[in-house]
Amino acid sequence: MTADVILPGATLGGSGATTLGVVGGGQLGRMFVHAAQSMGYATAVLDPDPASPAGLVSHHHLKADYLDAAALAEMARLCAAITTEFENVPAQALDTLAQTRPVAPTGSAVRVCQDRAREKAHFVASGVPCAPHALIETPEQLAAIADDLLPGILKTARLGYDGKGQVRVKTRAELVQAWDELKRVPCVLEKMLPLAFEVSVIVARGRDGQIVHFPVQHNLHRDGILAVTTVPAPGVSEALSAQVVNAAQTLAASLNYVGVLCLEFFILQDGSLVANEMAPRPHNSGHHTIDACDLSQFEMQVRAMTGLPLVAPQLHSPCFMLNLLGDLWFEGIASTVQREPDWPAVVALPGTHLHLYGKTDARRGRKMGHLTVTAATADLAREVALKAAAVLGIEPF
């Protein structure tokens, strides 16, 4: 055990448990807090929302802006190490905290992941294939777009997620209109490619460069939001899985990354792969690891930030993970009447694991929870997952 490992410390001189911090109070922070607490750590959350899911279950909740100087100073005083739960946290806040405390991931790594132009440039520099693309920041760059990039998808360089900040364009006229609709902020135009399906992989990298990964995951999106994750990933050969993992490990190492990192890839119809985007944190597609693996992505996050050993996680059960959006709380597509989903019928199904995030306001498209179905075989897991989807009114997959 190295000297710089951060231990829970609850029994050392009666001083109380060591505190780990997370910047951001959403559901990812909540699940990180649960994992840290189960390992004996105290937790602190920095998030301005007094009802943030993570803040509600943490030992400390600093209700302040992410760049509030006093809150950052208090976070540094409380915590032995600090992480983040979403990529749009101001990287400057992480830089400030890193002046006195270990921060994983670093502000520099987050800066790459939160800007699509920097991200694409990093893919290219690392030798990882990505879709043909071009940066649009000025009318001159817009006019110079090559014909072979159309049809494409125009994406804002920053602050886009779950399908937000994206417009599909087929012609130059549509491209010009879309850039106007996006307020002429810096954008990246990506060429549309013949996709077969989408996968992701979650890796964890320690301060010593040790890296482990979870199994490759098959993802189905609807309206730009993840709907279903399947593990093991159907249609993914051992050779393709190895390519995905190798690309993810290459990117993590090239960032000198510490922590949990998710890489999303498109698999094209010819069997080749292109990198889509990175998330410098645990990921929605990895929530199944809580119930289907011997180590969850959140425990791996704790291990990486504290210097504890990273052990290769094992999938012990095939699974399906269903995202539970706020739409399920409404009686119909156009209805404004809300009611509670039939959870008793769902949890009566074998192998179901219900996770709700403690959000009090159900809104359409808002991630309210997830359901993981585990079984002895993938076919059995799919069968039960489809029954659960029918109970909840989720479109079959």
Q: What is the pLDDT of residues 63-117, one digit of tens each?
A: 999 999 999 999 999 999 999 998 889 999 999 999 999 999 999 999 999 999 9
132-191 CATH choice from 3.30.450.190, 3.30.1490.20, 3.90.420.10, 3.40.50.970: 3.30.1490.20
CATH class label, 195-392: alpha beta
Which tokens belong to 95? 């830089």
- Supply the mean pLDDT for the chain: 94
Delimit the CATH 3.40.50.20 region(s) of the chain. Answer: 19-103
CATH class label, 19-103: alpha beta
Which tokens belong to 82? 């600090």
pLDDT per residue as tens digits for the range 39-68:
999 999 999 999 999 999 999 999 999 999
Beta strand 217-222 with 225-231 is: antiparallel
User: Facing residues of 322 across strands?
Assistant: 228, 371
Delimit the CATH 3.30.1490.20 region(s) of the chain. Answer: 132-191
State if pTM tops 0.85.
yes
Cβ neighbours of residue 298 closer than 8 Å, sequence gap 6 or more: 31, 32, 34, 35, 36, 282, 289, 290
Delimit the CATH 3.30.470.20 region(s) of the chain. Answer: 195-392
Cβ neighbours of residue 218 closer than 8 Å, sequence gap 6 or more: 197, 198, 199, 229, 230, 231, 233, 234, 235, 236
Cα 24 off chain centre by: 13
pLDDT at 82 (0 to 100):
98
